[in-house]
Amino acid sequence: METTIDAAGRVVVPKALRQSLGLSPGTRIRIEQKDDSLVIRHAKGGGEWEVEDGRLVLSAPEGTAPLTAEAVRELVEKSRR
């Protein structure tokens, strides 16, 4: 199937594909580049809970940038404003 990218950069997923894949308004998707193609798939949640060394740890989805101390400080500062 073919579709067109509009002036705002949006792509319409044809109805037959949306229905086949169970995509509805509000469905979160993940778009990735693989070589010279775009891959669109259902987005996973915010991560998965795992037990490591007896502690519950939230692992980030694949491709998520590491959370640095500086990023945490920035988030804290933004929340205080």
Domain ranges for the chain: 48-80
Per-residue pLDDT at 24? 85
Give pLDDT tens digits for 7-36.
999 999 999 988 888 888 888 888 889 899
**Cα–Cα distance for residue pair 39/53, rounded to 1 Å:** 35
Whether the predicted pLDDT of 6 surpasses 80 = yes
Angle CA 41–11–13, to nearest 5: 55
Q: For 49, phi and psi rounded to 5 degrees?
A: -85, 135
Residue with the larger pLDDT of the pair 81 and 46: 81
Binning pLDDT at 50, 70 and 90, where does residue 47 land?
Answer: low
Whether the predicted pLDDT of 56 surpasses 90 = no
Per-residue pLDDT at 36? 93
